Structure 1
Amino acid sequence: MAETPVIDSSDAAIEGETELRRRDFLNIAAISFAGVGAVAVVVPLINQMNPSADVLAEATVELDIAKIAEGQAIKAIYRKQPLFVRHLTAKEIAEANAVPVATLRDPQTLAQRTKPGKPEWLITMGVCTHLGCVPLGAAEGEPRGEFGGYFCPCHGSSYDTAARIRKGPAPKNLEVPDYVFRSATAVEVGAKV
């Protein structure tokens, strides 16, 4: 008669435990490999959403305002959009301050739109808040509208000397970007205090 092999139960337990450990290791290795692969794919996809070098270069712009005479304005480019820098006269400041703020569609005082101690310098984006046209009034000889500020030729919005909407379909005042005076003659647009 053939003998039945005797299986030691402790050997079977060790072999089963070893098999379980090998399987766990393979599962962990496979999941780790998939995780590294997912990161390798996702990082470039997210990185491509960062602003390009030319956009970062335009994140701030420094302007020399020394040559802007009182009553004049210049157009500059900030983040690929027009920017208006106006040197207000004493008369324009008085006109802006005389307007009752409660009568404005987007109520703001001139002091809220300029820097303390520099009410003569009004810096705004040159984009109408209605549909994004470029208002007239910054260049010499352009119509400024009935309120002496800016006039949007697309749909007739009129802004006053503080670039606040006074008439027409525009819902808001011209936007005032962040800016800092670096000296008496230099302003950096896009910089925060």
Structure 2
Amino acid sequence: MSEHDTKTDTLGEPTRRDFLYLAAGMAGAVGAVSAVWPFIDQMRPDQSTLALASIEVDISSLEPGMSLTAKWRGKPIFIRNRTEKEIAEANAAKLDELKDPVARNANLPLDAAATDVARSAGKGKENWIVMIGSCTHLGCVPLGTSGEYGGWFCPCHGSVYDTAGRIRKGPAPMNLAIPTFAFTSDKVIKIG
């Protein structure tokens, strides 16, 4: 056995050199993570963004036929207290005639049909509709109580939505999306 042989070669036990390699590798790994961490950390949302994760909207002043627009996560949210006539018009629509038969309601299963109740706040609150106010064609903001069906109309490209926010005509491929929301009281809706 020569002088340059290590114990690892002959006995299978670690040597001081093996320890130094391991320690240097670990120091390098810690250094690499320390150098990369600021870049990873800056990708997390800041506190102002997290604060907007949910909002509460006071709807006590909305009489039937009135709407308001709130801002949530940088998007307009349409909240409307629909009239009996608007609800009846939405119920009269035949589901097989709808361009998009899916409810697009984050509060329901993904495959829920686009019935008026599935697009509204639910049984007993069919008069309330809460939707993200971005046209599903190119993200424009539609005008309320407009268009052929009395719902929303996007003047940019001609998409027409009914009183339940379902696409009826134009280039938009989907119904207006409904975010997660809940009534915290008869006068307040929590979105998000």
State the TM bucket, normalised to the shorter chain. 0.7 to 0.9
Counting matched residue pairs gives 175
Q: Does the 8 Å contact 2:182/2:190 carry over to 1?
A: yes
Residue 182 of structure 1 aligns to a residue whose secondary structure is: strand
RMSD: 2.0
Deviation at 1:129, TM superposition (A): 0.5
Partner of 1:49: 43
Partner of 1:75: 69
Residue 131 of structure 1 aligns to a residue whose secondary structure is: coil
CA distance in 2, matches of 1:187, 1:85: 9
The reply on whether 1:31 has 2:25 as its aligned counterpart is: yes
Letter in 1 for 2:137: H
Unaligned runs of 5+ in 2: 102-113
Partner of 1:60: 54
Partner of 1:134: 141
Deviation at 1:96, TM superposition (A): 0.5
Gap change, CA 1:22 and 1:99, over 3 Å in 2: same
Deviation at 1:115, TM superposition (A): 2.7
The reply on whether 1:189 has 2:183 as its aligned counterpart is: no
CA deviation digits over 1:124-182, x for unaligned, max 9?
01100001111011xxxxx6101000010101111100010011111111110010110
The aligned runs of 1:95-134 (5 Å cut-off) are: 95-107=89-101, 108-116=114-122, 117-134=124-141
CA distance in 2, matches of 1:102, 1:41: 57
Structure with more helix by fraction = 1
Deviation at 1:66, TM superposition (A): 0.7
CA distance in 2, matches of 1:156, 1:135: 9
Letter in 1 for 2:188: A
Deviation at 1:37, TM superposition (A): 1.0
Deviation at 1:16, TM superposition (A): 3.7
Deviation at 1:18, TM superposition (A): 8.8
Partner of 1:91: 85
CA distance in 2, matches of 1:21, 1:186: 70
CA deviation digits over 1:60-92, x for unaligned, max 9?
110011101101111111111111000011111
Alignment match of 1:17 (pick from 4, 7, 16): 7
CA deviation digits over 1:88-121, x for unaligned, max 9?
1111111101100111011111111123221111
Name which of structure 1's ranges 39-48 and 172-181 shifts more when overlaid on structure 2: 39-48
**Structure with greater Cα Rg:** 1
Letter in 1 for 2:180: D
Equivalent pairs: percent with the same residue? 50
Q: Does the 8 Å contact 2:7/2:15 carry over to 1?
A: yes
CA distance in 2, matches of 1:57, 1:144: 33
Partner of 1:148: 150
Deviation at 1:35, TM superposition (A): 1.1
Deviation at 1:17, TM superposition (A): 2.7
CA distance in 1, matches of 2:167, 2:98: 7
Alignment match of 1:176 (pick from 167, 175, 178): 178
CA distance in 2, matches of 1:170, 1:132: 10
